[in-house]
Amino acid sequence: MFAAESLVRTLVNQGVELCFTNPGTSEMHMVAALDRAEGMKSVLCLFEGVATGAADGYARMAGKPACTLLHLGPGVGNGLANLHNARRAFAPVVNIVGDHAVDHAALDAPLTSDVAGVCAPMSRWVGSVKLASEVSAMAVEAVRQSYGPERGVASLILPADCAWSDQEPDVIAAETMPALRPVTDAAIDAAAAALKAAKSPILFLGNEACLDAGLEAAAHIAAASGARVFMDTFVPRIARGHGRFAPKRLSYLGSEAMQELADCDLLLIAGTKAPVAFFAYPGERGEFTPDGADIVTLGGPADDIIAAMDALADRLGPVEPQPKPDQAQMPKLFPDEALNPGYAGISLARHMPEESILCDDATTSGMGVFPWTGSGPKHDWLCLTGGAIGSGMPQAVGAALACPERQVFALCGDGAAAYTLQALWTQAREKLNIINIVFANHSYLVLNFELARVGAGEPGPAAQQMLSLDDPKMDWVKLAEGFGVPGHRARTAGEFDTALAAAIKAGGPHLIVAEI
């Protein structure tokens, strides 16, 4: 047995059951170990950004890490964008990166690089195996570090000779992993006092606070204190749909966000931090909290915010039972009208099964879909937490493998989808129930919008060419079919509605091009 096999068996004992792989020569003994060790499923991805995005989606839905297997510095470099999204989502990921054998690294071969330096910006911890005898212990440490308690990406660098060694380290049994930190009674008491003293409080939610239990507590706190409830614009996972309390999603636009918060005298933070602008703009402030408003933090991403919110609700006393929002009647669909994101949202609300999962990588179009699904069937909405586009299709792979019984949708802009369309091949290979909706406006539309916001003037021909995707237009039906996924095109609301219903009924992966 190679040392690599001890590593895999140790990971399995820690609950790591899935590996998203794009290996090279340095990782061949890990490949062999994945073949021999029971309990670990390996999923091949054609591009490292697919592997890292899938690990992110899996972690958000499973609540525990999968691992990746990437090839040296260039391999992990290709996956950094979606590791950034995972970091911003506080998603636990064990990122295993192969490296040259220790002695070979000194020869400065073509693929030699500073692997630790490449991993570091997107990792909360980076460790490198030095001796084969420490392989299993380092594997446990990587899993432990991914749990935090502020969860995130833990990168483990595995030199080839440490993997191929026949010096077998012990396989380590399951160990207790870090839990979220308890919030102190003093912090809960301070939050309760602040709410009671405030005239116009806002409860601001993020991360775990946006799951079912957090939303129930938030509804109680709002009813007891009169607080309005907002949530971060880009939350890792939002529990939505009929019967669930629905916080207001803070506007992406700075001027609108500041207007939404303008009259509050208390911003009570639960699970996140005070909101700031996504970018800097000339003449605009970056912080959204009004001048003079108090900011009180109940807890952040590393804290057991749901327990703290439950305790805060108890401190505020009982409230009358709040009526659950009912499923609203769906707006009428006009089948002959030109398709737009709103009509896509109406169709999703009409047809998506209960407990669906929506992975949003559609920027402007996703904002148009979001409002219409809120009163539809219960679902989880996964946001683009780090702003690095190209997450939707890979994230859907991970979500579908974490929750195989649930229908998954990837909402993608055409520019974003082009970053990681290789995920379609993995979807087809694994026969995953994913419907990819590509909103094809043949433009980086959000950048056209941002160009105006930053005051850079009217775009000339060169600027227009840098933001346009229409010369030539990508044929997403052919691209999908080339990767083994059936493709469909919709130009009207009726065509989209029909294609969506048919894809859900058929099962397996599909792609619908929404021409908008």
The CATH number that applies at residue 55 is 3.40.50.970
Is residue 266 one of the residues assigned to a domain?
A: yes
Sheet with 228-231, strands from edge to edge, namely 248-249, 228-231, 201-205, 266-270, 294-299
More confident residue, 1 or 345: 345
CA nearest to 384, candidates 279, 252, 234, 207: 234
- pLDDT tens-place string over residues 187-205: 999 999 999 999 999 999 9
Is residue 179 one of the residues assigned to a domain?
A: no
Whether residue 385 is found in the same domain as residue 498: yes
**Mean pLDDT of all residues in 405-433:** 98
- pLDDT tens-place string over residues 294-312: 999 999 999 999 999 999 9
CA nearest to 203, candidates 211, 213, 192: 192
Whether residue 302 is found in the same domain as residue 445: no
**What are the percentages of helix, strand and coil residues in the chain, rounded to 5?**
45, 20, 40
Whether residue 373 is found in the same domain as residue 487: yes
Structural domain of 350: 341-515
Least confident of 91-95, 247-251, 321-325, 326-330: 326-330
Whether residue 352 is found in the same domain as residue 306: no
Domain end point (choices 109, 133, 164): 164
Domain end point (choices 115, 131, 164): 164
Whether residue 137 is found in the same domain as residue 25: yes
**Mean pLDDT of all residues in 267-274:** 98
Whether residue 309 is found in the same domain as residue 354: no
Residue whose pair of structure tokens reads 């009647």 in the numeric block: 329
Q: What's the predicted TM-score (pTM) here?
A: 0.95
Is residue 175 one of the residues assigned to a domain?
A: no
Q: Token digits for 477?
A: 């039906």
Domain end point (choices 316, 350, 378): 316
- pLDDT tens-place string over residues 215-228: 999 999 999 999 99
What are the C-alpha distances in Å from 503 to residues 278, 283, 459? 35, 47, 40
Whether residue 296 is found in the same domain as residue 382: no
Is residue 177 one of the residues assigned to a domain?
A: no
- pLDDT tens-place string over residues 429-473: 999 999 999 999 887 767 766 776 777 777 788 877 887 888 899
Query: What whole-number percentage of the chain has pLDDT above 90?
Result: 89
pLDDT at residue 182 is higher than 90: yes
pLDDT at residue 393 is higher than 90: yes
Is residue 335 one of the residues assigned to a domain?
A: no
Whether residue 90 is found in the same domain as residue 126: yes
**Mean pLDDT of all residues in 65-77:** 98
Residue whose pair of structure tokens reads 């083994």 in the numeric block: 484
Whether residue 148 is found in the same domain as residue 191: no
Cβ neighbours of residue 414 under 8 Å, at least 6 residues apart? Answer: 438, 439, 440, 441, 442, 469, 474, 476
Is residue 111 one of the residues assigned to a domain?
A: yes
Whether residue 18 is found in the same domain as residue 152: yes
Q: Where does residue 460 rank: exposed (0-12), middle (13-18), buried (19+ CB within 10 A)?
A: exposed
Is residue 112 one of the residues assigned to a domain?
A: yes
Whether residue 308 is found in the same domain as residue 203: yes
Read off the CATH number of the domain in which 198 is found.
3.40.50.1220
Whether residue 351 is found in the same domain as residue 465: yes
- The number of domains in the chain is 3
Is residue 511 one of the residues assigned to a domain?
A: yes
Q: Where does residue 510 rank: exposed (0-12), middle (13-18), buried (19+ CB within 10 A)?
A: buried
**For strand 238-240 and strand 379-382, is the pairing parallel, antiparallel, or unpaired?**
antiparallel
pLDDT of residue 469: 85
